[in-house]
Structure 1
Amino acid sequence: MAPNTGILGLVLWTSRGDALSGSKTSSAAPDVFLSCLAVDIPHRLVHTPASSSYAEHLFSSIRNLRFVAPDTPRPLAIVAAAEPKHVQATVRCGRRHGVRVRTRSGGHDYEGISYTSLDHHERFAVLDLAAFRSIRVDAPRAEAWAGSGATLGELYFAIGAANRTLAFPAGSCPTVCLGGHLSGGGFGALARKYGLSADNVVDAVVVDADGRLQNRSTMGEDYFWAIRGGGGESFGVVLAWKLHLVRVPETVTLFSIRRSRNQSAIDLITRWQEISPVLPWDLYLRVVVDKQQAYFVALFLGSCGRLHRLIRTRFPDLGMTQQDCEEVSWVQSTVFFAFDSTAMPLEVLLQRGNKRQSYVKAKSDHVQVPMPRQVWESTWARLERPEAASLMLEPYGGFMGSISSSVTPFPHRKGNLYQLQYYSEWFENGSATLKKRMKWVRDLYKELEPYVSKNPRAVYVNYRDLDLGTNKLEGNVTSYANARAWGEKYFKGNFERLAAVKAMVDPEDFFRNEQSIPPLPTATLWSPI
């Protein structure tokens, strides 16, 4: 059979002869690993602590200053891969010489596990996919190939340049890269209409634990299922994704309406919980609570006049007027959600720089029954404290509630009203500030426990939270029994199937981190859904 080819010139088929040999001996000397890399990777692409370029590359996409402290474990090398063979070589050399590989696409992971480790004794390298950022849009087929290192902003810009009536469902932060976003599901403003990013992935290019290149036809459907929402860095290194693009009107409508406490913000939020999940699928209406203000932010796949009539009928207490809304193209709406303005040029979507460095702690929940008004009164009182975080309420319903929870590993579908994110961001250095900020988030998370999902208390894997638990070893692989404590909160009933896939594609648990999927023990029974 002739090889298939795709984006980035990637070869999607390799012979079994490319697999690793059975020898995977460990070496205590990093220079042996580096010598192995040098066979296939140019010296200029491998940055070690002895390199003048090491700090620049390490910090180039660290988004959370919690992980820049001097005592934070650092990789023994950063491989700035430029071709698939560089990724393959890194995986093969890592296995051969006992060096773990952590893969970074954009560095937005809240707990920094793509570029650091909790274990000060772990020998690991960072595989940086920033160069895998090519995007090819096929407008007639409504498809696109995009590298894992491409940002959401770059993807949105490319789609908008190709066709005004095409879009892709994904998040609102333009500097997030596709690799991590799609690996965890990918929730955004089009989710109620078209689902998650992962729901719209139709193929992928992966380097597996044996260093082989795989695509959907060669990896099989179980493997393909797992990488579309099963969390990053557990099953291999995804280099590129084939995406199904969705249809949108030439003009969409936006609004952002601010309400304070004395403008009935608490009553509006209480009411929003029941209204937002049952609105028409074309309407996404989220709430952001920040600095004692509630922002009701909407994207509507239709005209301002239609949106005004809809809100006047379904949510009249919001007090929306036609002057509140603005009609723009879909790609311009992505600028609005990122920068709270439509006046900025589309080119801002192409900015990859990490100019806004801050400290971050986040947690998430899923709400299945509206929280009583008194709960929001209590929460609002917490929001008045100087160390308060932001709350983001993302509506479900629509497409999200219409399909099975097992279609992809992301299980949070039917039965959820909305997703709640606690997001604390601060700029002041110091342990006292850190403790105060972390405590605020954790205390509110604990206080709201009676009012959110239960058995398990479900959370979103793209909002990584190591408070939920971290992996422990059982022999030389991650303990499945221990990992269930956090894994079932992210994946519910899909966790066991993910572990079964892990046992199939990476039984020796090479791709491992603090919350990676463990291999399912052979004694544990699992049957396909």
Structure 2
Amino acid sequence: MCHFLSKMTLFLNFDHIFYLFIKQQGKIMTNKNTLNARRAFLKSSLGAGALISTAPLGLAFASSSTQEEVEGYTPSYVLPNDPRYTAFLTGSNYRFTSAPDWVSVCSSAHEVYIAARKAVSDNKRITVRAGGHCYEGFVDNDQGNIIDLGNMDKVYKQGAHYIVEAGARLGNTYETLLKEWGVTLPGGSCFNVAAGGHISGGGFGALSRKYGLTVDYLVGVEIITFAEYGGQANYPRSYFLGESKQADDIVWAHQGGGGGNMGIVTKYFFKDLPPVPAMMSIQQLSVPWSVLDHASFTSLLQRYSQFFVDNNNISSQYNGLHASLTLNNKTGPSSTLDLTVTYAGDTPALIDDFINAVFDAPQLEAAEISFSPQREAGPSLVPSSIERPQPLGSYLTLPWWVATTIGGGGAGGARAKYKSAYMNDVFPVAQINTLWELLTSDAFINPAAAVQISSYGGRINAVGKNDTAVSHRQSSLKLQYQAYWFSPFQDAYNIQWMQQFYTKMYGPNGPESDGVMDGCYVNYPDVDLPNWQTLYYKDNYPRLQRIKTQLDPHNRLYHAQSIELLS
């Protein structure tokens, strides 16, 4: 590591001093002029090479010089008296608001570097926001500096690499990859989420059983670390798998190690992305709580979980099928259990096979089915109209992009609390009893609370538990506990219910790996977890600590559950 850093010091000192040289020339330069100036600077500075290579970059940088950088190379600093300021104070979870001293709005990796150096020089805490969808308050930063990457939203290709900047929203990323190259990332379904945190936490979505996780295709990152003299920011550099052991470590740490830990990632590099499915089939149905009793509810959850345990292998014919069963809190006669199923492949009738395997006849008779032959392709009432095509079964088949946009919202705007759990086996009866008891109780009346049970496994589990930082490579289901509300006066009511629910399900230590349960998803963070290190990362945590200690030895990036330095 020391040899690496000594070489990087020369490189970083040169780049920063070069930008100061541009400033002294008093010119705003085009790329061509910048290249010529760089060559002239090289020639004029050969005699001072020893000085450049030995002067600590921290000594050459001052906060005031950052603010005076040449136009086009400096962030936009948003201060409290700026009308834009309030737009940066919260993300999608309105439980958390912040009052930073300033926000650095960046449009390039160099601007992020300048913003980070200014914050370190001014002894301000740094937090980073790409899309603002962190479930906890990890970006909250009173009297510090929030670095906003939202303008860094390009998606493009260089050589064999597909490059996604950290601020790119998932919806824009999918659309660009589809229209330009006919490929995709198997990531999340909320289009407004940004790549920055989503990818570093693993990246999971409706195509993951078919194609794996997003990070299974990640081969490089461009990152600003904080390993320079005095914990200052290093100039952004790209690292690729196979380049060196350190590069392998850095990329591995971003294949599921979580955001806000190692450094500030500005670009992700992907390779060999899977093809976009031509079509996707979708079905949605809602079963009223009123047709369920304790016994039928138990059978339903056992059948649902057993289906994905039985089809949790890399060659299952059902790998193109993704399902999410949402158990909404029962608050009245209209409360339901909702199922969304998507299928990408050549046999969409597998949707019907799945639904028939999970639900019994009375439940299907009572269900409200969104897409059915009777509803979507019944005989026309207008004699002269074009005859409607008959669908193949009880589902709707659409071009993949159109189907993907269904339910692609997730803009936020409420207060919320979340928890998660991975499952490797069928629901135990004791857990089903708890779900029934607490979701049907009259003691908690929030209709916007639910437990969402999503399918997992398939191609996800083709990768070893230590091959990426995502260690959960045997699971068949992923659970997300959710509650939404609007008034801050309801915070304690909802959070307490969620915590009691979770503790009754798994005990005080959460869903520890025991053959049935297998920990938690780092992209659904929960500050109440007492042993989050093990639940998120299992035996990958020590390696993450070693990498964190190398890249950010002064712990410039930290939050309530950031990777801890080695002691």
User: What residue in structure 2 maps to residue 135 of structure 1?
Assistant: 155
Unaligned runs of 5+ in 1: 1-11, 340-351, 470-484, 522-529
2:11 pairs with one of 11, 15, 32: 15
| Kept in 1: contact 2:301–2:427 (CA 8 A) | no
Q: Which of the residues 41, 47, 51 maps onto 2:82?
A: 51
Distance 2:394 2:67 in 1: 57
1:48-127 residue pairs with structure 2 within 5 A? 48-59=79-90, 62-68=91-97, 73-114=98-139, 116-117=140-141, 123-127=143-147
Q: Which residue of 1 aligns with 2:193?
A: 176
Q: Is 2:326 aligned against 1:288?
A: yes
Q: 1:137 touches 1:158 (CA, 8 Å); kept in 2?
A: no
Q: Distance in 1 between matches of 2:247 and 2:566?
A: 18
Does the Cα contact within 8 Å between 1:192 and 1:398 map onto a contact in 2? Answer: yes
1:246 aligns with 2:252: no
Q: Does 1:412 align with 2:485?
A: no
Structure 2 counterparts to residues 247-326 of structure 1, below 5 A = 247-261=275-289, 262=291, 264-279=296-311, 280-291=318-329, 292-303=335-346, 305-308=348-351, 310-311=353-354, 315=358, 317=360, 323-326=393-396
**C-alpha deviation, 1:79, in angstroms:** 0.3
1:343 alignment counterpart: none
Counterpart code for 1:81: C
Classify the secondary structure of the residue corresponding to 2:204: coil
Q: Determine the C-alpha separation between the residues in 2 that align with 1:437 and 1:246.
A: 41
8 Å Cα contact 1:259/1:265 also seen in 2: no
Question: What is the rounded CA distance, in whole Å, between the counterparts of 2:217 and 2:562 in structure 1?
Answer: 23
Instruction: Describe how 1:110-259 pairs up with structure 2 within 5 A.
Output: 110-114=135-139, 116-117=140-141, 123-136=143-156, 144-162=162-180, 166-209=183-226, 210-217=233-240, 220-244=247-271, 245-259=273-287
Q: Are the structure 2 counterparts of residues 430 and 285 from structure 1 closer, same or farther at C-alpha, using a change threshold of 3 Å?
A: closer
Unaligned runs of 5+ residues in structure 2 are 1-7, 17-54, 227-232, 312-317, 330-334, 373-391
Assess, with a 3 A threshold, how the Cα gap between structure 1 residues 308 and 196 changes in structure 2: closer, same or farther. closer
Cα offset for 1:47?
0.9
CA apart distance, 1:399: 1.5
Cα displacement (A) at 1:305: 4.9
Structure-2 change in CA distance of 1:308 and 1:50 (3 Å)? closer
Shift of 1:310: 4.0
Deviation at 1:19, TM superposition (A): 8.2
The aligned residue for residue 447 of structure 1 is: 504
Distance 1:53 1:277 in 2: 50
The SS at the match of 1:79 is: strand
- Greater shift in the superposed pair: 82-91 or 296-305: 296-305
Change (3 A) 1:281 1:16: same
Cα distance in 2, alignment partners of residues 312 and 488 from structure 1: 35
TM-aligned CA deviation for residue 16 of structure 1: 4.3
Q: Does 1:492 align with 2:552?
A: no
Distance 1:126 1:39 in 2: 19
Deviation at 1:326, TM superposition (A): 1.0
Q: Would the aligned equivalents of 1:187 and 1:196 in 2 still touch at CA under 8 Å?
A: yes
For residues 470 and 527 of structure 2, the distance between their equivalents in structure 1, rounded to whole angstroms, comes to 18
- Matches of 1:333 and 1:315 in 2, distance apart? 23
TM-score (norm 1): 0.79
| Distance of 1:52 and 1:308 partners within structure 2 | 51
The answer (yes or no) to whether the contact 2:453–2:480 under 8 Å persists in 1 is yes
Structure 1 residues 132 and 375, CA gap change in structure 2 (3 angstroms): same
CA distance in 2, matches of 1:400, 1:15: 39
Contact 2:13–2:57 at 8 Å: present in 1 too? no
The answer for the alignment partner of 1:502 in structure 2 is 548
What is residue 387 of structure 2 aligned with on the other side?
A: none
- 1:321-345: per-residue Cα shift (whole Å, max 9, x none)? 7553111122222212425xxxxxx
Residue aligned with 1:436, SS: helix
Q: Which has the larger radius of gyration?
A: 2
Output the CA distance in 1 between the equivalents of 2:433 and 2:506: 16
- 2:69 pairs with 2, 27, 39, which one? 39
- In the aligned structure 1, how far is the partner of 2:541 from the partner of 2:476? 22
Q: Which residue of 1 aligns with 2:39?
A: none
- 1:399 maps to what in 2? 459
Please state how far the C-alpha of 1:196 moved relative to its aligned partner: 1.3
Q: TM-score, normalised by structure 2?
A: 0.74
Of residues 417, 423, 437, the one that matches 1:367 is 423
Structure-2 separation of matches of 1:57 and 1:328 = 37
* 2:476 aligned with 1:438: no
**RMSD value over aligned CA atoms?**
3.1
Find the residue that maps to 1:409 and give its secondary structure.
coil
Q: CA deviation at 1:383?
A: 2.1
Q: Which amino acid aligns with 2:251?
A: F
Tell me by how many angstroms 1:222 deviates. 0.5
Task: Tell me the distance in 2 between the aligned counterparts of 1:226 and 1:406.
Answer: 11
Count of residue pairs brought into register by the alignment:
459
Deviation string for 1:43-72 (max 9, x for gaps)? Answer: 88101123333223334xx2111113xxxx
